[in-house]
């Protein structure tokens, strides 16, 4: 017993030493691990911990605003709520999306599809799931927020359209797809897009995308482990903030008030209207019908609706002002007359006899007036749009010489308005026929070309440019719609001045005058085909046109045939004749009200009347006095 108490140790003495070693080694291993985590990889983990607590919230920039020439807002922004999810904070994605779809009455896979598209994004990046939430939808989400971790509603801007303006011109926005985004971002390294961003897909929104989009800002907020924003004053976190830079504002040449009149006057018809300033090429109004609801894309378009619209034979998605190609019909006669006068084929006094038809070899070409016009000279041929006169002229002139003058006026090539895939139109020549159709030009095809039918194709914009050149006696201006681009602070980034493309010197001023007086007679003369376009107190010149879409039997009643087979009604005009300041071109497709004179001219008349009313009103406002209506001048009666 004693021995035991002195040396109680059945315990092995040396084990104490070993135990000390073991303890030191164990502590050392743990300590080295600490060193590895805290010192060696400390920066890495510090960064992760920052990412952990800090969430970057994208602040979308409001897009730039489009103003009209007078400073009225054509396309602005208004506040809207959108549904976003932050994947990092979602607990059960499948379930969350199912609940969301049920709450918002959306198809079950809508959210999952959108979510999948944004898979590559960092987990803290919000994904837009639904835009333009109604107040009801917002309250539904907010009240169920507890069960929807990672789901948020944020306020953002959406486009607000002026419905009087053609949506084709303004264009629409669409979400950027991941594949398109790479392409976009390759060009925009400094200001990249993120998935779900809206970009201009058509019209001015697309063309001016780089100006309108602005620059995303962001705020950094601190969140706790459950994604709840924590109070930053609680601890001293200073987080940077980058405000969104709104897009640049754009002033257009469009006159909104006139545009609204145009839309009203043209409503119910299909086709296009172009109103242009012949002295600058500035576009005052553009309309293309049938059209679409500009809010359609904000609401979301079902595949069925979209298919129905693309299959619509009247092509609602097409901007007919620039990409619709039509045969110019009788409006082309002005050009043919200029060519024939200049080349000495005709003189103002040379006349042809119209007995209602014209035969060339075995072919017979009819005049629109079956009884014939009798003896017609240039003035009456234009005024009454005699086809037989122009068959004769066309044959003598030949297709190539018509084409030469057409090209001088800028036809057959793009004018450079640069919105919505402008089309070049077509000016047929013998060469063209040979190369395209591998056939020789047939003499019988020339009379059709001379009255603007056959292979001829022009866009409404080209027709406006043609009549601008006639109105200004040979000045071809490049059409433009964007006047000025300026930053929100008002600093001008780009100012477009009118560009004179060329002055047509191949046609003499006398010949221009001869044709212009013929065109004036179309409207001002009581026998003229376009007298429906008259405006009290203003000398208006114009030319009607009716284009057969299919060859109908002569006496077949137009009202019997399908709308798609009906004639196009055209009217091209400018006013006032003495010093033209506005060109109005109407192309009414498949018009069932009649030809150019009956159907298109009254629309042009309304537009012109509105233009001059506006002008008077603005002049009155400018001098700040009560405006008494300017007495109607009697000049217009001269041509009787």
Partner 1 sequence: MIDSRDQMVGVGAMAHAPVLLVPGQAIREPTLIWSKILMTVLFLLISIGMTNLYSAAAGTSLFWSQLKNLALACVGFYVCGWIISPRFYNSYAYWIYGAVCAQLVLVDIIGGISMGAQRWLKVGPIVFQPSELAKIAVSIIVAKYFYTSRLSQPYTLRDLLPLSLIIGVAFLLIFAQPDLGTAGVCALIMTCQLCFIRINGRSLAIAATGGLTVVLGAWFFILRDYQKLRVLNLINPDMDSSNTGYNALQSFIAIGSGKFLGKGFMAGTQTQLQFLPARHTDFIFAVFSEEHGFLGTSVVFILFVTLIYMGLAIAKNGKDVFASLLAVGMTGIIFVSFAINTAMVLGLFPVVGVPLPFFSYGGTAMIVFCAAMGILVSIERESLDLFRKVSPFQRKSANSRSSKQRS
Binding window for partner 1 (CB under 8 A); candidates: 21-29, 406-414, 460-468, 475-483: 21-29
Among candidates 300, 296, 295, which has minimal Cα distance to 75?
Answer: 295
Q: How far is the CB of 92 from partner 1 (least distance, A)?
A: 10
Following CA atoms 504, 510, 512, 518 in sequence, which dihedral angle do they give, to the nearest 10 degrees? -170
> With binding defined as CB under 8 A, does residue 33 bind partner 1?
yes
Site for partner 1 in 183-222 (CB under 8 A): 222
26, 112, 284, 543, 570 from 179: Cα distances, Å = 54, 18, 37, 49, 43
Tokens of 25: 């080694």
Among 10, 135, 364, 491, binds partner 1 (CB under 8 A): 10
Binding window for partner 1 (CB under 8 A); candidates: 28-36, 110-118, 273-281, 597-605: 28-36
CB 558: neighbour CB atoms within 10 A?
Answer: 13
Q: In the sheet where 270-276 sits, what is the strand order? A: 283-289, 270-276, 582-589, 568-575, 541-547
Q: Which is nearer to partner 1, 90 or 535 (CB)?
A: 90
> With binding defined as CB under 8 A, does residue 564 bind partner 1?
no
Binding map of partner 1 across residues 227-246, x = CB under 8 A, - = no contact: ---x----x-----------
Q: Which is nearer to partner 1, 39 or 491 (CB)?
A: 39
Q: How far is the CB of 38 from partner 1 (least distance, A)?
A: 4
Q: Which is nearer to partner 1, 90 or 212 (CB)?
A: 90
Q: Which is nearer to partner 1, 239 or 241 (CB)?
A: 239
Distance, CA of 639 to CA of 522 (rounded, Å)? 10
Cis ω for the linkage preceding 290 (within 30 of 0): yes
Distance, CA of 168 to CA of 161 (rounded, Å)? 12
CA angle 254, 255, 260 (to 5 degrees): 110
Q: Which is nearer to partner 1, 186 or 225 (CB)?
A: 225
Strand, coil or helix: 353: strand
Binding window for partner 1 (CB under 8 A); candidates: 29-37, 75-83, 127-135, 602-610: 29-37
Q: Which is nearer to partner 1, 11 or 626 (CB)?
A: 11
CB 448: neighbour CB atoms within 10 A?
Answer: 21
Q: How far is the CB of 491 from partner 1 (least distance, A)?
A: 42
Binding window for partner 1 (CB under 8 A); candidates: 33-41, 55-63, 302-310, 588-596: 33-41
User: Half-sphere exposure of 547 toward its Cβ, with a 13 Å CA cutoff?
Assistant: 32
Q: How far is the CB of 123 from partner 1 (least distance, A)?
A: 10
Site for partner 1 in 38-57 (CB under 8 A): 38-39, 41-46, 48-50, 52-53
Q: How far is the CB of 86 from partner 1 (least distance, A)?
A: 14
User: Half-sphere exposure of 557 toward its Cβ, with a 13 Å CA cutoff?
Assistant: 2
For 96, phi then psi, to 5°, come to: -60, -45
Tokens of 620: 């009155």
Binding window for partner 1 (CB under 8 A); candidates: 6-14, 469-477, 566-574, 580-588: 6-14
**How is 544-601 classified by DSSP, letter by letter?**
EEEE-SS---TT--GGGS-GGGSPEEEEEEEE-SSS--EEEEEEEET-SS-SIIIIIH
Among 34, 509, 550, 619, binds partner 1 (CB under 8 A): 34
DSSP 3-state helix, strand, coil percentages of the chain (rounded to 5)?
A: 40, 20, 40
Among candidates 546, 532, 536, which has minimal Cα distance to 604?
Answer: 532
610 neighbors 266 (Cβ within 8 angstroms) = no
Q: Which is nearer to partner 1, 12 or 626 (CB)?
A: 12
> With binding defined as CB under 8 A, does residue 3 bind partner 1?
no
> With binding defined as CB under 8 A, does residue 122 bind partner 1?
no
Q: Which is nearer to partner 1, 11 or 146 (CB)?
A: 11
> With binding defined as CB under 8 A, does residue 224 bind partner 1?
yes
Among 135, 146, 186, 225, binds partner 1 (CB under 8 A): 225
Q: How far is the CB of 43 from partner 1 (least distance, A)?
A: 7
Tokens of 17: 């030493």
Q: Which is nearer to partner 1, 239 or 621 (CB)?
A: 239
Distance, CA of 516 to CA of 170 (rounded, Å)? 34
Binding window for partner 1 (CB under 8 A); candidates: 27-35, 110-118, 262-270, 596-604: 27-35
Binding map of partner 1 across residues 53-92, x = CB under 8 A, - = no contact: x---------------------------------------
Q: Determine the size of the site formed for partner 1 (CB under 8 A).
A: 48
Q: How far is the CB of 151 from partner 1 (least distance, A)?
A: 17
Tokens of 362: 């075995």
What residues does 127 pair with on adjacent strands?
A: 85
> With binding defined as CB under 8 A, does residue 19 bind partner 1?
yes
> With binding defined as CB under 8 A, does residue 37 bind partner 1?
yes
* Chain mean position to CA 161: 12
- State the DSSP H helix or E strand holding residue 73, giving kind and residue range, or none if neither: strand 73-85
For 363, phi then psi, to 5°, come to: -85, 145
- Helix 256-266 and helix 601-623: axis angle, to 10°? 160
Q: How far is the CB of 46 from partner 1 (least distance, A)?
A: 4
Q: Which is nearer to partner 1, 119 or 437 (CB)?
A: 119
Q: Where are the alpha helices (DSSP H) in 82-177?
A: 93-104, 110-117, 135-143, 167-170
Binding window for partner 1 (CB under 8 A); candidates: 31-39, 162-170, 393-401, 619-627: 31-39
404 neighbors 432 (Cβ within 8 angstroms) = no
Q: How far is the CB of 221 from partner 1 (least distance, A)?
A: 12
Q: Which is nearer to partner 1, 35 or 147 (CB)?
A: 35
Distance, CA of 543 to CA of 523 (rounded, Å)? 8
Among 15, 113, 407, 593, binds partner 1 (CB under 8 A): 15
Residue numbers at the binding site for partner 1 (CB under 8 A): 1-2, 4-5, 8-13, 15-21, 23-24, 26-27, 29-31, 33-35, 37-39, 41-46, 48-50, 52-53, 222-226, 230, 235
């Amino acid at each position: 017993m004693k021995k035991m108490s002195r040396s109680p140790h059945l315990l092995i003495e040396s084990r104490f030493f070993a135990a000390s070693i073991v303890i030191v080694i164990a502590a050392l291993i743990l300590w080295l691990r600490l060193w590895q985590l805290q010192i060696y990889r400390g920066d890495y983990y510090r960064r992760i911990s920052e990412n952990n607590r800090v969430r970057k919230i994208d602040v979308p920039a409001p897009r730039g605003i489009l103003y009209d020439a007078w400073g009225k807002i054509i396309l602005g922004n208004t506040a809207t709520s959108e549904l976003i999810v932050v994947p990092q904070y979602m607990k059960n994605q499948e379930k969350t999306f199912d609940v969301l779809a049920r709450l918002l009455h959306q198809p079950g896979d809508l959210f999952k599809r959108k979510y999948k598209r944004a898979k590559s994004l960092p987990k803290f990046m919000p994904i837009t799931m639904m835009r333009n939430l109604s107040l009801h939808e917002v309250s539904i989400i907010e009240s169920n927020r507890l069960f929807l971790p990672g789901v948020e509603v944020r306020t953002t801007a959406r486009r607000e359209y002026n419905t009087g303006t053609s949506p084709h011109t303004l264009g629409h926005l669409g979400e950027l797809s991941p594949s398109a985004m790479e392409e976009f971002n390759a060009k925009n390294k400094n200001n990249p897009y993120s998935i779900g961003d809206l970009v201009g897909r058509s019209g001015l929104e697309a063309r001016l995308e780089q100006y309108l989009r602005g620059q995303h800002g962001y705020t950094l907020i601190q969140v706790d482990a459950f994604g709840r924003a924590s109070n930053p004053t609680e601890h001293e976190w200073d987080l940077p903030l980058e405000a969104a830079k709104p897009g640049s504002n754009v002033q257009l040449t469009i006159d909104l008030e006139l545009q609204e009149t145009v839309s009203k006057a043209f409503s119910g018809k299909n086709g296009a209207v172009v109103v242009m300033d012949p002295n600058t090429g500035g576009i005052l109004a553009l309309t293309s019908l049938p059209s679409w609801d500009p809010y359609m894309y904000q609401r979301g378009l079902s595949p069925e609706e979209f298919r129905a619209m693309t299959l619509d034979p009247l092509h609602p998605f097409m901007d007919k002002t620039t990409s619709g190609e039509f045969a110019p019909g009788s409006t082309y006669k002005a050009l043919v007359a200029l060519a024939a006068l200049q080349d000495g084929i005709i003189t103002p006094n040379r006349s042809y006899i119209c007995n209602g038809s014209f035969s060339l070899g075995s072919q017979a070409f009819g005049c629109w007036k079956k009884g014939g016009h009798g003896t017609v000279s240039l003035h009456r041929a234009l005024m009454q749009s005699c086809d037989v006169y122009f068959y004769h002229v066309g044959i003598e002139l030949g297709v190539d010489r018509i084409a030469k003058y057409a090209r001088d006026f800028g036809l057959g090539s793009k004018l450079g308005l640069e919105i919505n895939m402008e089309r070049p139109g077509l000016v047929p020549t013998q060469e063209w026929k040979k190369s395209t159709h591998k056939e020789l030009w047939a003499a019988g095809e020339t009379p059709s070309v001379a009255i603007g039918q056959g292979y001829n194709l022009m866009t409404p914009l080209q027709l406006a440019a043609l009549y601008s050149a006639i109105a200004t006696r040979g000045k071809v201006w490049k059409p433009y719609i964007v006047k000025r681009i300026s930053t929100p602070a008002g600093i001008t980034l780009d100012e477009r001045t009118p560009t004179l493309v060329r002055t047509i010197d191949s046609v003499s001023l006398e010949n221009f005058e001869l044709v212009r007086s013929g065109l004036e007679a179309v409207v001002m003369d009581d026998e003229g085909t376009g007298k429906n376009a008259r405006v009290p107190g203003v000398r208006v010149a114009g030319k009607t046109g009716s284009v057969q879409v299919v060859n109908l039997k002569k006496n077949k009643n137009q009202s019997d045939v399908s709308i798609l087979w009906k004639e196009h009604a055209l009217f091209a005009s400018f006013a006032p004749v003495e010093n033209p300041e506005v060109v109005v071109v109407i192309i009414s497709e498949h018009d069932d009200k009649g030809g150019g004179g009956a159907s298109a001219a009254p629309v042009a008349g309304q537009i012109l009347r509105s233009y001059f009313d506006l002008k008077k009103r603005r002049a009155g406002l400018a001098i700040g006095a009560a405006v008494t209506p300017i007495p109607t001048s009697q000049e217009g009666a001269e041509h009787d």
